[in-house]
Structure 1
Amino acid sequence: MFTTCESADATVGSVMATIEGREEHIRLAGIIKGLHADLRKKFKKCTDADDFEQIWKEHCSDTDTLRQYADAMHHLATDHWTRLPETRIDWCRKTILEYFHGGGLKKALEKVSRRIQVHRAKKLQREYSDRRKKDTSKDEQRDQNVGNDSENVDLCISAPSLPEVYDEATCVIDTDTLPTTSVDIGVPFRGRIRLLDVGSCYNPFAGFEEFLSIGLDISPANSKVHRCDFLNLELTDPDPSALSKDDPFGGLPDTVSQLPRQSFHVVVFSLLLEYLPSAGQRWTCCCNAHQLLAGNGLLVVVTPDSHKQHRNAAMIKSWRQAIESLGFVRWRYVKLDHLHCLAFRKIHVGEVRDKELGPASPDMLYIPQDFHEDEDADAEVVSRSDTDIEDISKTFEELPACWDSDEDD
C-alpha cells in the first residue's frame, strides 16, 4: 500500500509539473504573440514610409518591452523547445553540414556546370543554324543570278562545291567555370562555417564547433549576441585578407552597425520573416542577406505553419519566386509538421537558370496576417475549437528563439 501511495504521489506530482509547465509556456508565448500583434496593428495604420520608419525606431528603442520579450524567448528556447525530438536548430545544422561537408555544394556546382554546357551548346547550335540559313540564302541568290546569265551556265555547272560551313572546332564546349572572386565558396570546403544568425536572441549555433556563429538581435538575451538593427545595417566593402583569419569577427563591438559584404557562408532566418510587420521589411532582410553572403553561400529560412503542406503552398511559392529573384536558387525545401524549411544558394552573376523567373516584388513576401484587418486576441480565443488550440500550441512549440520583436533543386 505504501509503495502504491508513493507511486500515486509521484504521478500526481508529474501531472502537476506538466500543468505548471504548460501554463508557463502559454504565458511566455502570450508575451511573444502580443508584441507581434501590437506591432502589426501599428504598421497597418501607417500612411507613408516616414511613419513606418518612426514606428520601427520607437520599437527598437522600447528597451523595457524588448527586454521582457527577450527573456520570454530565452526561457521558451532553453526550457521548453529543447524537449522536442528535433528542433528547428537541429534541422538547420543538419542541412548546412550536408551542403558544405556532405556533397550538397559539390552536386549543386556540378549541376551548374552541366547547365552551362547545355546552354552554350544550344547557343552554338543556334549560331550555326543562322549561318547556314544565311549561306543558303546567298547560294539561292547566286544560282538565280547565274540562271539569268546564259554565259555563265557552264561555269556554274563546273564550279566546285562550296566548303562546308560547319566546323567541329566551333562546337567544342567551353567548360571554364563562371568568373569567381577570392571570397566565393568552392569545393572542397575547408575551415569553420561563418554563420550569421539574424534575430538570434541567445546564439544557439555558437554551441557547435563547426560554426563560427555571429548572433544579431535588437534585444540580446545574453552576451553572446550583438545588438543590431538588421534592417538598417550598413554594408561595407569586403576585406579578403581579414576573412582569411581564423576568427575575422573576433573584434566585433557589442553593438553592430555595419558588416562587410560577401563575408558569410550562411545566413539564417529562423522564424524571423513572418514576424516582421511588413513585406517590405522582409524584402530588405533578404536583400541584405544576399549581399552579406559569399558566392555559393546558403540562406536558410524557417517559417512556422501547423497546417498541411497545401494550405499555404501559394505563399511558399510566392516566397520562393521573390527570394530567387534577388539572386538565389532553391537548394532544399522540406515541410515538417509545423514548419516550412527552405535553403537557397546564392548564384553567380550571369549564372544560367533552368527556367526564367517571372516578375517579383516585395509584396510577394506576404504572410496571412498581412490581410487580417482586426486581430482581437480575446475574440480569437472564444472562437477556437479544441483542434485549433492544439494546432496553435504545437506551433508555439516552434516559435523563434531568434527574433527580437517579432527539395532539392
Structure 2
Amino acid sequence: MACDEHKQLADFLKEVHSSLRKSSSKLGAGKAWQTHCQNNELLSQYARTMETLATKHWEENCSDETSPASSRITWSADLSFDYFVNKSYLKFRQKEIDIGSKMSIELDKYESFSEPVKLIDVGSCYNPFKVYEFMDVLAIDLCPANGSVLQCDFLDVPIGSETIVEGRKLKQIKQNSFEIVTFCFVLEYIPSSELRIKACERAYSILKPGGLLIINTPDSKHVGANSKHMKCWRYTLAHIGFTRIRYEKLKYMHCMAFRKCLHKDIATRWALLHKEPYMEYSMHIPQDFHEQKPEALVSYPEINVSPEDFNELPFCDLE
C-alpha cells in the first residue's frame, strides 16, 4: 500500500500533467509545451520527484512483479536482449520478406546493428538503463536528475547527419543511428495527441531499419477499459512505419514494442487490413477527454476483450 509520501509525489506529477493539458487547451499544445519547457524551477522539482518516486517508492514494491519498478525498465531490457542479442529480430525480418513478396515489394536493405546496441532513453530522468552492458545508452531529459543524463527537448532538437553534444546538452541527433528508442512513462506527459505523434515520427527518423520503439504508459484499469485508445496507437504507428511485435497489459501499465519496418508499406498494410470504424490517426490518452468541457467529450466506451484480441497480425509475439 502506498505511503503518504508516495501519494504526494504521484499527485504532484499528475497535477503537472493536468495543468499542462489545460494550458494546451487555452494556448495550443505547441505554445503550452514551449512555455512549460522554460519553467526551470518546475522542471527541476518534477525531476527530483520522479527520481524519488522511481528509485525509492517503486523499488520498495519490486517484489510485486507488476510494479512499475520491476517492470517498465526490466520489461524493456529483457525484450531488447532477446531481440538483439538472441537475434529474435531475424524471424521478424523473414516475416517482412514474406509479406513484401505478397505485396510485390523487394526489400533492398537489411538490419545492421551495433554492438553494444545504441539506445536513446527519452525522458530518462536518472538513466536507469545504464546498468545494462549490452546497451550503449544516451539518456536525455528536459531537466536531468544527475550528470549521466543530457539536457534535451526531444520534440525540438534538430535531427541531422551527426549527433552533437555541447557540455551537458544534446544539440542534434543523428538520423537512422539508434537501435532502440524508449518512451518509458513519457507520452502521457506530452499534452496532446499531435505532439505524441510528432515524438513517434521523430523516433522513426532516428531509428535504424529494424530498430525498436519501446513504449510504457501507465494504466491501472483492466485490459479492455482503454483498448480502443491502444488500438488507435497501433493504427497510427503503423502509418508512421512501425509494426507492433509485442504487447502486454500489466497491472499498472501497457508495455509495447514496435519494429521500424524495412519498408514502410509493410507496416501500413496492417492498418489497411485491420482498420475498424473507430480507429483514427491519433494517440489520445483518457485524460485528454476527462478534462474537456462536457460538450467536447469524445466517448470511447469500455468493451469486453480477451488477450487474443491483441494478437500480433500478421506478426507473432516474441516467444
- TM-score surpassing 0.5? yes
How far residue 93 of structure 1 moved from its aligned partner, in angstroms, is 0.4
Structure 2: runs of 5+ lacking an equivalent: 64-69, 294-310
**What is the CA–CA distance in structure 1 between the aligned matches of 2:108 and 2:169, rounded to whole Å?**
35
**What is the CA–CA distance in structure 2 between the aligned matches of 1:211 and 1:273, rounded to whole Å?**
22
Partner of 1:67: 44
The partner residue of 2:111 within 182, 185, 192 is 185
Partner of 1:113: 97
How far residue 23 of structure 1 moved from its aligned partner, in angstroms, is 1.1
Structure 2 vs 1, CA of residues 41 and 192 (structure 1 numbering), >3 Å: closer, same or farther? same
Per the alignment, in what secondary structure is the counterpart of residue 188 of structure 2? helix
Bigger shift: 297-306 or 75-84? 75-84
TM-score by length of 2: 0.82
**What is the CA–CA distance in structure 2 between the aligned matches of 1:367 and 1:57, rounded to whole Å?**
21
Structure 2 vs 1, CA of residues 73 and 348 (structure 1 numbering), >3 Å: closer, same or farther? same
2:189 is aligned with 1:263: no
How far residue 374 of structure 1 moved from its aligned partner, in angstroms, is 5.8
The partner residue of 1:309 within 220, 223, 235 is 223
Partner of 1:40: 21
2:197 is aligned with 1:273: no
**What is the CA–CA distance in structure 2 between the aligned matches of 1:363 and 1:178, rounded to whole Å?**
27
The AA in structure 2 aligned to 1:75 is T
Partner of 1:368: 286
Report how many aligned residue pairs link the two structures. 285
The partner residue of 2:54 within 77, 80, 105 is 77
Could you list the per-position Cα deviations for residues 164-185 of structure 1 after superposition, in whole angstroms to 9, with x for gaps in the alignment? Answer: xxxxxxxxxxxxx6122xxx62
Q: Any residues of structure 2 matched to 1:55-204 within 5 Å, and which?
A: 55-83=32-60, 84-85=62-63, 86-120=70-104, 178-180=107-109, 185-186=111-112, 191-204=115-128
Structure 2 vs 1, CA of residues 62 and 191 (structure 1 numbering), >3 Å: closer, same or farther? same
Q: Which has the higher helix share?
A: 1
The partner residue of 2:138 within 214, 219, 229 is 214
Partner of 2:199: 285
Structure 2 vs 1, CA of residues 350 and 54 (structure 1 numbering), >3 Å: closer, same or farther? closer
Partner of 2:129: 205
**What is the CA–CA distance in structure 1 between the aligned matches of 2:200 and 2:279, rounded to whole Å?**
12
How far residue 235 of structure 1 moved from its aligned partner, in angstroms, is 0.6
**What is the CA–CA distance in structure 2 between the aligned matches of 1:22 and 1:232, rounded to whole Å?**
37
**What is the CA–CA distance in structure 1 between the aligned matches of 2:29 and 2:249, rounded to whole Å?**
33
- Does the CA-based 8 Å contact 2:241-2:265 persist in structure 1? no
Could you list the per-position Cα deviations for residues 61-83 of structure 1 after superposition, in whole angstroms to 9, with x for gaps in the alignment? Answer: 11111111111111111111123
**What is the CA–CA distance in structure 1 between the aligned matches of 2:114 and 2:24, rounded to whole Å?**
44
Q: Which has the higher strand share?
A: 2
**What is the CA–CA distance in structure 2 between the aligned matches of 1:301 and 1:26, rounded to whole Å?**
24
Q: Any residues of structure 2 matched to 1:216-235 within 5 Å, and which?
A: 216-235=140-159
Could you list the per-position Cα deviations for residues 9-52 of structure 1 after superposition, in whole angstroms to 9, with x for gaps in the alignment? Answer: xxxxxxxxx8xx71111121122111111111111113xxxx54
How far residue 113 of structure 1 moved from its aligned partner, in angstroms, is 2.2
**What is the CA–CA distance in structure 2 between the aligned matches of 1:352 and 1:52, rounded to whole Å?**
32
**What is the CA–CA distance in structure 2 between the aligned matches of 1:57 and 1:349, rounded to whole Å?**
34
Q: Relative contact order (C-alpha < 8 Å, sep 6+): which is higher?
A: 1
Identity %: 34
Partner of 1:384: none
Per the alignment, in what secondary structure is the counterpart of residue 194 of structure 1? strand
Structure 2 vs 1, CA of residues 290 and 362 (structure 1 numbering), >3 Å: closer, same or farther? farther
- Does the CA-based 8 Å contact 1:280-1:363 persist in structure 2? no
TM-score by length of 1: 0.65
Report the RMSD for the aligned CA atoms in angstroms.
2.5
The partner residue of 1:297 within 202, 211, 221 is 211
- Does the CA-based 8 Å contact 1:220-1:227 persist in structure 2? yes
The AA in structure 1 aligned to 2:41 is D
Partner of 2:301: none
How far residue 361 of structure 1 moved from its aligned partner, in angstroms, is 9.8
Per the alignment, in what secondary structure is the counterpart of residue 103 of structure 1? coil
The AA in structure 2 aligned to 1:94 is D
- Does the CA-based 8 Å contact 1:81-1:87 persist in structure 2? no
